[in-house]
A and B are shown apart, each in its own frame.
Chain A
Amino acid sequence: MKHRHAIMMTCIYVTLGVGAVITFLPFLWMFTSSFRTNAGFFDTYFLPVDADENIAWSQLTFTHYHKLLFELGFGRAILNSIFLSSVTSVIATLFAAMAGYALARFQFRGRGFALFVVLAMLIVPAPLLLAPTYQLMYDLGLIDTYHALILPAAAPAFGVFLFRQATLSSVPSQLLEAARIDGCGEFRIFFTMALPLLRPMIGAFLLITFLWSWNNFIGPQVMLQDVDRFPLAVAVGNLKGLYYQDYGLQMAGTLISILPVMLLFLMLQRDFISGLTAGAVKG
């Protein structure tokens, strides 16, 4: 029995190991490619080799990173990405939690309709909203401002529904009633009682919105005009030429663009997973 278990575990680990290697290889290729020039770029897979089939260290270069950070303004793009993603995720999480909580625990006229609108918005594809959003931002005079990206994402329908469900399952009505009897105000109830109970969902949703905003390409591409406001997604997109491609530069740019968010995900993965599985074990 023990022997059988060991074989099974070995099979599992080998399978997972192979999967991990397959997943890791493109990242390794991207990493090594970011130090290569276009000369002989596709001759070898990872590192350039010389005539003796040894690694040609002399053909590796840091110029792509230097160019990105000191000539092409990627530092500003990193700051823009961090700003847009973090502010959007904090605001979206706060408002989604408030709206979800209200829909779950307050009785008010039009609640059913509001919920219907939220659910209806879930089935509208985001690209469909791009043109009307642009029109709205244009009319408000917000084109080429950060607001044009933050405001439309401030209360996502998905988040509102997610927090409504989380509130229904995690925040007991009796607790809220008890607080009200004790004289607690509604905002205080929300911030001091409901939010702590929604903690797993907050962590997960913060990360979801942060990643969504970080990877958002089409929104900034459409709403922003000034290169000093471009986030990384757009800055990397602009590295692509119409005919000529500087592959090393593109790979370096891509690596820079995924590294911060990868680190953040590693830090927050526990929140993310606990948030996603929070409802799974509840009766």
Chain B
Amino acid sequence: MRETLTHMAEQPDNPPRHGPNGTATTSDPDAELGAGWISAATALSPGAWVILALAVLSTALILILPGRQEATIEMWTFTRAHALMYEPEIERWNEEHAEAGADAHILILNAPALQQRMLAGFLADTPVADLIEAERKIAGQAFAGPLDQVGFVDLTDWLRDEGLLDDINPPSFGPWTSRGRIFGLPHDVHPVMLCYRADIVEAAGIDVSLIETWSDFERIMAPLMEDRDGDGEADHRLLALQEGYGDQIELLTLQAGGRYFDEQGVPSINSPEIARVLAQITMWCTGPNPIAAHAPDFQAAGNQVKKRGEVVAWFAPDWMCYLIRSEIPELHGKLKLMPLPAWDPGGRRTSVWGGTMLGISRSSPDREQALALAQRLYLSEELAETLYRTGDIITPIRSHWDNPMYDEPDPFYSGQRKGRMYIDLAPEVPSRTNSPYFSIAVLRVQDASIQLAEWARGASEPPGRAALEERAMVLLNDAQAAVMRHLNRNVFLAPEQEDAE
């Protein structure tokens, strides 16, 4: 091509002629123009033409196809399972309110995207949904400012007036409460039990009804740790647990009576309860014959460890029942649930893991409609049934707990009436607090736990409980100081500021 053009430009028998302004022109302008544009067309290879054609066609389609009309109520959620559950109800809502022009719509966003958009909407007035379904760590981010400027509508008074403060299981409000005000409708309770391989445990002649405390658990289950197959390793580990798994550390902390923040949002990390939990986790995970096994939840590797029976028991909030059912169907009829062993005799036999809320944006143009739809989605018995039947999750609405569905035996869990078992534990669920710095606190405590375990592994003799608790307290003091540093930068939440007021 280059040679052709160069040749064209240097053609001796195509002499230039001068136009009226003295510039050189070609002998046949029209023909030259056509030839020029043909040569321009050759600038594109067949593949480039394909992309150009795609651009033209797709532009035409985008212009022709109608876009979705702006919804009158927009809802964001972070999980497809919830969206699928709500969609039929939202369709019914739209039909019932068709005359008023209702067009509610649900949008699924992955969790980090939802968090970023929510915060951008709350802090910088970018477009934000009317209803936001947020997981605990996401929702906590919204509580960073003054109470009257939290992006969610304060529902406390409305909940009280409607009698919902009594009808909803009180601990379920904790994660959505900041400085005494409630900013979301709770979706769940999420009590935690211990799921165990009943086939293995019962074959060993172990009676789990004798287990009341974690000490009992270790002692009574100990025969399973024997090396009967002679491979030099314990045949089974007793508990799926990692010293660096923040969620597990937190649920054990809550069960032991500790928590990361008090009601006023001040960190309470360096507490004897958390030191005790970290020391116990270290003892379970380290030493010559640890009872804990690495069987990560939500991962194929962990599922395989559970399926092969290399680990006998794991923490099971209600939602975990569905995950196990769908991801390890081979365990059908081989599992049972039992309340968590307590830290002390007579102590709490459950904990809590996870949680979701539905909040109404303060910027919503029609808060009343948004609230009405929120009630429909979160308070109806019909959706409570769907929630349990499709996700094994029990509703926090106590008046729905009489539903006979919860008493149905579940063949997957060896015929246990697991719904009722979880409901029986629901009132015992520890109350939680939330903070914009919750995720930081989880990471700091997690770091402390890892450091403690490393310290124990590096010791010449396995350290005793007292030494571990002492060391844990040193590490937790550092963690507390680190979280306080973050908190003190926030003029609205720093304890000093509040004192000054």
Chain A interface residues (CB < 8 Å from chain B): 38-43, 76, 79-80, 82-83, 86-87, 89-90, 138, 143-144, 146, 170, 172, 174-175, 178-179, 181-184, 188, 191-193, 195-199, 202-203, 206-207, 210, 221-222, 225-229, 237-246, 264, 267-268, 270-271
Give B21's nearest chain A residue, CB to CB. A183
Binary flags per residue of B117-144, CB closer than 8 Å to A gives 1, else 0 = 1000000001100000001000000000
Can you offer 24 A-B residue contacts whose CB atoms are under 8 A?
A40-B329, A79-B61, A90-B55, A144-B127, A172-B6, A178-B10, A182-B24, A183-B24, A184-B36, A192-B39, A193-B39, A197-B1, A197-B2, A199-B42, A199-B44, A202-B48, A203-B44, A210-B51, A238-B110, A243-B79, A243-B354, A264-B47, A264-B51, A267-B46
Report if B460 contacts A (CB, 8 A). no
Give A243's nearest chain B residue, CB to CB. B298
A59 to B378, CA, bound (A): 35
Residues of A within 8 A of B26 (CB): 182-183
Binary flags per residue of B305-348, CB closer than 8 Å to A gives 1, else 0 = 00000000000000100110011011000000000000000000
- Count chain B residues whose beta carbon lies closer than 8 angstroms to a beta carbon of A: 63
Report if B260 contacts A (CB, 8 A). no
How many inter-chain residue pairs (CB < 8 Å) link A and B?
Answer: 169
Which of the residues B47, B81, B116 comes within 8 Å of A203, measured between beta carbons? Answer: B47
Q: A203-B48, A244-B326 are in contact. Are A183 and B19 (CB under 8 A)?
A: yes
Q: A86-B55, A143-B126, A183-B24 are in contact. Are A175 and B5 (CB under 8 A)?
A: yes
Residues of B within 8 A of A239 (CB): 80
Binary flags per residue of B53-68, CB closer than 8 Å to A gives 1, else 0 = 0110011011001011
A203 to B44, CA, bound (A): 7
Binary flags per residue of B1-20, CB closer than 8 Å to A gives 1, else 0 = 11001100110000010010
Are A225's CB and B67's CB within 8 A? no
Q: A39-B329, A170-B2 are in contact. Are A199 and B45 (CB under 8 A)?
A: yes
A90 to B126, CA, bound (A): 30
Interface of B, helix, strand, loop or mixed by DSSP: helix
Residues of A within 8 A of B62 (CB): 79-80, 83, 146
A79 to B127, CA, bound (A): 24
Extra pairs beyond A86-B58, A246-B80, A271-B45 (17, CB < 8 Å) = A38-B326, A39-B329, A86-B55, A170-B2, A182-B26, A183-B16, A188-B33, A188-B36, A191-B36, A196-B39, A203-B45, A206-B47, A227-B107, A237-B113, A243-B323, A244-B322, A264-B51
Q: A42-B303, A182-B16, A239-B80 are in contact. Are A195 and B68 (CB under 8 A)?
A: no
* A41, chain B: closest CB distance, angstroms: 7
Give B70's nearest chain A residue, CB to CB. A226
**Docked complex: B40-95 residues within 8 A CB-CB of A:** 40, 42-48, 50-52, 54-55, 58-59, 61-62, 65, 67-68, 78-81
Report if B209 contacts A (CB, 8 A). no
Are B126's CB and A138's CB within 8 A? yes
Are B43's CB and A199's CB within 8 A? yes
Are A241's CB and B47's CB within 8 A? no
Residues of B within 8 A of A270 (CB): 45, 47
* A233, chain B: closest CB distance, angstroms: 12
Are A38's CB and B327's CB within 8 A? yes
A87 to B62, CA, bound (A): 12
Give A203's nearest chain B residue, CB to CB. B45
Are B36's CB and A238's CB within 8 A? no
A38 to B108, CA, bound (A): 21
Are B323's CB and A271's CB within 8 A? no
Give A88's nearest chain B residue, CB to CB. B55
Report if B109 contacts A (CB, 8 A). yes
A244 to B84, CA, bound (A): 14
Are B40's CB and A242's CB within 8 A? no
A267 to B47, CA, bound (A): 6
Residues of B within 8 A of A198 (CB): 43
A79 to B44, CA, bound (A): 23
Which of the residues B9, B43, B304 comes within 8 Å of A196, measured between beta carbons? Answer: B43
Are B44's CB and A202's CB within 8 A? yes
* A239, chain B: closest CB distance, angstroms: 7
Which of the residues B47, B52, B65, B126 comes within 8 Å of A271, measured between beta carbons? Answer: B47
A80 to B55, CA, bound (A): 11
Are B330's CB and A40's CB within 8 A? yes
Residues of A within 8 A of B55 (CB): 83, 86-87, 89-90
**Docked complex: B349-364 residues within 8 A CB-CB of A:** 354
* A74, chain B: closest CB distance, angstroms: 13
Give B323's nearest chain A residue, CB to CB. A244
A143 to B65, CA, bound (A): 20
Are B25's CB and A182's CB within 8 A? yes
Residues of A within 8 A of B59 (CB): 83, 87
* B87, chain A: closest CB distance, angstroms: 10
